[in-house]
Amino acid sequence: MLVVGNTIGVGIFTTSGVMAEQLPSPGLMLIVWALGGLLSLAGALAWAELAAAFPLAGGEYNYLREAFGPFWGFLSGWAAFLASFSGSIAVLAIALAEYLAGVFPFTFTGGTLASFSLGSVALTVSWNQLLAIVLVWVFSLLNYRGLHLGSWTQNLLSLSKLAAIAVLLVAGFYYGHGSWTHFSPLLAWSGGSRIVSATGLALIPVMFTYSGWNAAAYIASEVRNPETNLPRSLALGTLITIVAYLALNVLYLYALPVAALSGVVRVGEQTTSALFGPRAAQTISALIAVSIASAFNVMVLTGGRIYFAMARDRVFFSRAAELHPRFHTPGNALLLQAAWTSLLILSGTFEQLLTYATIVIVSISAITVSAVFVLRWRRPDLPRPYHVWGYPWMPMLYVVGSAGIFVNALWERPVECLLGAGLCAAGVPAYWWWRRVDSSSNTA
């Protein structure tokens, strides 16, 4: 449920419109979704070996530290705190606030709460931002009070989401006003030799939408029988997500031709209106709200474990390494994450940070999967309760595929890639500062 809940968020209800601009062909769109799913499954199987060998909180922070050294582990955690995890939580919080306002109309959500300036910088705080911050703290406190309460919340949200998607699919195909003629011609392409480049660009939002298949690894130290349960959860959760994504995209194309989907951001609402009429838009808004809440809860729950692991190794704020004496959760890390996320929501720059960091996230995931090869070479005697299926081809598929996405993005979007690299580079002085502080305290 963590994997499904974290992966199936708002992306599946928005990404297909962006893809339709890059690949105006129903067959090519479905092929790219299947390819993204295959790459994600390859990554999940590789992570399963790493998670079973190192059942520790923190995910890739531990694997990179063990394979390449502490600096690379820190760099992944730094990117997570600064943009990828905190930024994703901020984006999901604002999206959830907007969709909740659509389902339960709040008369004040669209207005401005306050406006003030800090020097030459003007800031405006809206009611929607305030509601988003409240949601961040509510979900953070739920997970602060224990993994049991957080996991119970997650199970409820994920199961509700899967049930709602199943109802939407059945109702859409049996009662919706769609047409299978929208799939003809299936593999039309008029972009000449740019098909490889277009496919690479389309894979970027697809891989972002699939991101989350590694969610269970972040709480490995709190899972019963992690050697068995982690590989099962990563593989099964990813497979469920692939099936759901492909089925939903078939439904989108059944509802509207690919030309009508091109450039549409709120694809879920557009296709539901086409299938059942405009009154159905509020129903899909409720489904999307549950979907966002599910992914939102996972991001809050898992993010704190990364900073806890970093602080435990003395490369982050020391208070983040403390476990709550009663709830046995990394409470301070969760509160620190909530505070930083609140600032991102107020700043209004988190979406830009997240855009810059997307390529970095793909790169770090590829480096993490490559840790399977490094550890098999350097530590052949390491106990491995699970060996990745299809080794070495499956992990190699993920590494090569991610490298191809990065190279294509560097060619097509050089500014975003360089800014993302600069974001990570900012972690270098921070790492050495924390190491110096640690050395000074040990000497004293």
**Out of 15-29, 151-165, 290-304, least confident range:** 151-165
Lowest pLDDT segment from 77-81, 112-116, 413-417: 112-116
Residue 356 confidence class, pLDDT cut points 50, 70, 90: low
**Kind of pairing, strands 121-126 and 112-118?**
antiparallel
Closest CA to 84 of 221, 218, 219: 218
Q: How confident is the model at residue 357 (pLDDT cuts 50, 70, 90)?
A: low
Q: Is the pLDDT of residue 36 over 50?
A: yes
Most confident by average pLDDT, 301-305, 374-378, 427-431: 374-378
The SS3 assignment for 122 reads: strand
Question: How far is 79 from 21, CA to CA, in rounded Å?
Answer: 30
The answer, yes or no, to whether residue 302 has pLDDT greater than 50, is yes
Enumerate the H helices of 176-266 as residue ranges. Answer: 195-210, 226-255, 258-261
Alpha helices (runs of H) in 277-349, residue ranges in sequence order = 281-312, 331-347
Whether residue 431 contacts residue 75, with contact meaning beta carbons closer than 8 Å, is answered with yes
Rounded CA-CA distance 59/220 in Å is: 8
Can you give the pLDDT at residue 268?
Answer: 82
What number is the average pLDDT over the span 237-241? 92
Instruction: Count how many domains the chain has.
Output: 1
The whole-number pLDDT of residue 444 equals 53
* Residue 439 identity (one-letter amino acid): S
pTM of the model: 0.78
d(CA 290, CA 374): 40
Residue-wise pLDDT for 144-182, tens only, equals 887 666 667 777 777 888 888 888 899 889 988 888 888
Domain that residue 106 falls in: 2-443
* pLDDT tens digits, 397-420: 989 888 887 787 777 777 767 777
- E strand or H helix that includes residue 112: strand 112-118
pLDDT score of 245: 93
- To the nearest whole percent, how much of the chain has pLDDT over 90? 14
Among 112-121, 258-267, 326-335, 395-404, the range scoring the smallest mean pLDDT is 112-121
Q: 225: helix, coil or strand?
A: coil
Cβ burial 32-71 (10 Å sphere, 16+ → b, else e): bbebbbebbbbbbbbbbbbbbbbbbbbbbbbbbbbbbebe
CATH label of the domain that carries residue 26: 1.20.1740.10
